[in-house]
């Protein structure tokens, strides 16, 4: 009876019987609002006219949904402050508008346990599978590292944690360096930046700073016991290149060593010159801000602007996917016991996260989280969970083009 009662509340929310969000304050800059329900470009999407049933999702009935639901509530708080008719995403308007998500977000409050969570989600959402045209998929893991650091250089803490430079500008998604004569150019590579020097925020071991830049954020422990957060501020706009692949191509590490642990071990035994050469093989360079640690129980803020939830948040390609939306993922994660499925929310991104079926699972803070994250590198499947009305509109818009059943196919 408890599930029936909770489900009734959720279905009432679907009909709009919920408290409306607080009024949106900013004044629109355009007199005519954009179409809140834009047609989907058929050249980019094809979609089966039949919704996917939750029973199709591998592991749906046994997955731990609690971390993903916690993350989703944070997303819903952001959605509630959006203009009601505004698409949640300009790059993925097919996920719907803020007002279309409001009933589903409100109904999350009735979830009391794992059984009711599954019942409510099934009542509110429709899973829509995403697939790359070439069939490519890849899931990895990341974490918030914790490193020893100093506020002035003291061996072995000699590598500066770089602050965002004043000459770095972004425009139209591109990153430029502003030159003294008023001209601009593409921002330099890692090798040139490190050769010319940076404005330091603090200092750590060179290998630790390198991996801090790959993870995108971390906690710095100072000798006086204070902990600071190194928070992502910007990058130099250069492409991300795999250091592991570069080392394997030269025979300096074996494939079995192509992990953060293996690369760090190689760095510890090689010469400083070779370590620098390997680091410079990845031209991407990340800059940071320093902030107080704040609540140590909360993860760092991802690109969506909310604290990340261990095994509830995921980094995705935000050139393709909307931020803040729930996704169900099936992959292989040795650090989680093997085959794994879970509810994750798209709350972050990263330089190496490219493609429609590409995700980086956030594992949490510290060495234990890092060890588990380091084991994840596998193919898998991904479903976006959309409010039923949004999924129904997608299916209707594409029914005329769909000649065969199957998942959504998203062109890279």
Q: What is the pLDDT of residue 39?
A: 45
Average pLDDT in the chain: 86
Q: Is the pLDDT reported for residue 69 higher than 70?
A: yes
Least confident of 107-116, 206-215, 234-243, 342-351: 107-116
d(Cα 58, Cα 251) in Å, to the nearest integer? 39
8 A C-beta contact, residue 91 and residue 85: no
pTM above 0.85, yes or no: no
Percentage of residues in the chain with pLDDT exceeding 70? 84
Q: What is the pLDDT of residue 113?
A: 84
Residues 70-98 pLDDT 10s: 999 999 999 999 999 999 999 899 999 99
Residues 4-61 pLDDT 10s: 343 343 433 343 333 333 332 332 322 233 343 444 443 444 333 345 889 999 999 9
Classify residue 377 by burial, with Cβ atoms within 10 Å: 0-12, 13-18, 19+.
middle
Residues 207-258 pLDDT 10s: 999 999 999 999 999 999 999 999 999 999 999 999 999 999 999 999 999 9
More confident residue, 401 or 331: 331
Q: What is the pLDDT of residue 31?
A: 29
More confident residue, 357 or 132: 357
Region 169-190 average pLDDT: 95
What tokens does 197 get?
């020097």
Q: What is the pLDDT of residue 172?
A: 83
Spell out the domain ranges in the chain. 144-292
Rg (CA), the chain: 23
Confidence of residue 105 (pLDDT cuts 50, 70, 90): very high
Q: What is the pLDDT of residue 410?
A: 58
Q: What is the pLDDT of residue 408?
A: 59
The dihedral over CA atoms of 214, 218, 223, 225, expressed in degrees to the nearest 10, equals -170
The CATH label, of 3.50.50.60, 2.60.40.10, 3.40.50.300, 2.40.240.50, for the domain at 144-292 is: 2.40.240.50
Region 337-354 average pLDDT: 94
Q: In terms of Cα–Cα distance, which of 159, 149, 153 is closest to 293? A: 149
Confidence of residue 401 (pLDDT cuts 50, 70, 90): low
d(Cα 362, Cα 373) in Å, to the nearest integer? 8
d(Cα 304, Cα 105) in Å, to the nearest integer? 17
Q: What is the pLDDT of residue 396?
A: 78
């Amino acid at each position: 009876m408890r599930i029936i009662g909770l489900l009734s509340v959720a279905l009432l929310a679907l009909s709009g019987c919920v408290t409306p969000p607080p009024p949106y304050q900013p004044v629109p800059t355009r007199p005519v609002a954009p179409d809140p329900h834009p047609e989907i470009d058929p050249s980019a999407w094809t979609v089966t006219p039949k919704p996917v049933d939750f029973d199709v999702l591998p592991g749906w009935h046994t997955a731990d949904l609690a971390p993903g639901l916690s993350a989703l509530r944070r997303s819903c708080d952001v959605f509630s402050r959006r203009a009601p008719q505004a698409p949640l995403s300009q790059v993925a308007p097919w996920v719907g508008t803020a007002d279309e998500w409001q009933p589903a977000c409100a109904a999350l409050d009735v979830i009391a346990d794992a059984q009711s969570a599954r019942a409510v989600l099934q009542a509110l959402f429709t899973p829509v599978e995403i697939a790359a045209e070439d069939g490519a998929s890849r899931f990895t893991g990341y974490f918030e590292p914790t490193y020893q650091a100093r506020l002035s250089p003291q061996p072995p803490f000699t590598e500066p944690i770089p602050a965002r430079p004043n000459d770095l500008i972004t425009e139209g998604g591109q990153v430029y360096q502003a030159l003294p004569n008023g001209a601009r150019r593409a921002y330099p590579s890692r090798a040139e930046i490190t050769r010319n020097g940076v404005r330091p925020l603090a200092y750590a071991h060179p290998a630790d700073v390198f991996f801090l830049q790959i993870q995108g954020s971390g906690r710095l422990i100072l000798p006086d016991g204070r902990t600071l957060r190194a928070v992502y501020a910007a990058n130099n706009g250069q492409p991300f290149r795999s250091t592991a692949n570069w080392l394997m191509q030269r025979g300096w590490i074996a494939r079995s060593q192509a992990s953060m642990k293996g690369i760090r071990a190689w760095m510890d035994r090689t010469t400083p010159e070779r370590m620098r050469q390997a680091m410079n093989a990845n031209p991407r360079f990340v800059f940071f801000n320093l902030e107080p640690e704040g609540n140590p129980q909360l993860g760092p803020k991802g690109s969506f602007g909310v604290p990340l939830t261990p095994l509830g948040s995921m980094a995705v390609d935000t050139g393709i996917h909307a931020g803040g939306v729930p996704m169900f993922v099936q992959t292989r994660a040795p650090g989680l016991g093997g085959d794994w499925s879970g509810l994750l929310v798209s709350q972050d991104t990263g330089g190496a996260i490219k493609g429609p079926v590409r995700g980086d699972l956030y594992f949490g803070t510290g060495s234990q989280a890092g060890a588990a994250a380091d084991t994840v590198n596998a193919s898998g499947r991904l479903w976006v969970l959309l409010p039923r009305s949004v999924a129904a509109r997608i299916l209707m818009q594409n029914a005329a083009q769909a000649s065969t059943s199957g998942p959504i196919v998203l062109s890279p």
